[in-house]
Amino acid sequence: MPLQTTENIWHNGQLIPWDKAQIHVMSHVIHYGSSVFEGIRCYTQPGAAGIFRLPEHMQRLIDSAKIYRMPLPYTVDQLIAAVVDVVEANGVAPCYVRPIAFRGYGEIGVNPLKSPVEVYIANFPWGKYVPGNEGADVCVSSWSRLAPNTMPSLAKAGANYMNSQLIRMEAEVNGYSEGIALDVNGYLSEGSGENLFLVRGGVLYTTPLANSVLNGITRSSVLTLAHHLGIPVVEQALPREMLYICDEAFFTGTAAEVTHLRSVDRILVGDGTMGPITKALHDEFFNIVNGLKADRYNWLTPVRVKVAEPVGA
């Protein structure tokens, strides 16, 4: 999806013009993938705007950096304030927010410890991520997710998304909207950038963190909503064939939000339409973020932005 530029980007504590947010070609991150990042959505409500689960996203950014021994010189509260500052300065809502921390220009070589850490935060308009207005047609990828004790799946690191790129490109060149990866043991893991949920017999299933999945914040939100709605939830390792016999399936993620799957490997999921449990979770999620229901979990950080129309579900 093409980028729509905004006026400002936050860099190491100050707002700079979008076109000035540049790095040297010899920066460590370019050669070795040494970055961690977040994706966050800012939603509009009637006469207001709010950033979805901002503290949780900023804590995960710090956690990802800690795993990679990348000290960030900012607290969670400082990063929250920085996101609010850039969103309000650019005056764009709804929007997508991209904080990123990476090893910059300093030394060459695999060892990153003497390269400086740079932190940037940008925001820009962004709509639907997974193609398919009537549900997504997806496939099981030939590429596996990262094996345990190779690259940490709990870190939202740029390098992990080389694996994601292979999954997504393979899916698209074969005529699918997205791919679903298996873990190293052949169990279901996740999409290239989405967590996976299945429904069978009225029970909501999702793959646990041990199956090489990111600890998704939208995933966590859907689990909270499911408990609130009285939907039974099971987190367990799931075999591939569950995709073909489940009643419903959907992706979650900041970009994907709640996206139902119409088919997997050309096999319809249920009758191909959004099922009742998916719909209940989908509607509850969008009603909260778009201000049609009370923000009972305090998920939204308010920002002072002149709002446009909400992004459609």
Q: Rounded CA gap, 47 and 62, in Å?
A: 32
- Based on the residue annotation, tell me whether 66 is a catalytic residue of this protein: no
CA distance 247 to 271: 8
Q: Is the separation of the CB atoms in 290 and 48 below 8 Å?
A: no
User: Is 33 exposed, middle or buried, given 0-12, 13-18 or 19+ CB atoms closer than 10 A?
Assistant: middle
Round to whole Å and give the CA distance between 178 and 242. Answer: 18
Catalytic residue among 114, 156, 279, 293: 156
- Which CB contacts under 8 angstroms, 24+ apart, belong to 77-82? 79/121, 80/54, 80/55, 80/301, 82/10, 82/13, 82/121
Rounded-to-integer distance, Cα 134 and Cα 288, Å: 22
Which residues are part of the catalytic machinery?
Answer: 156
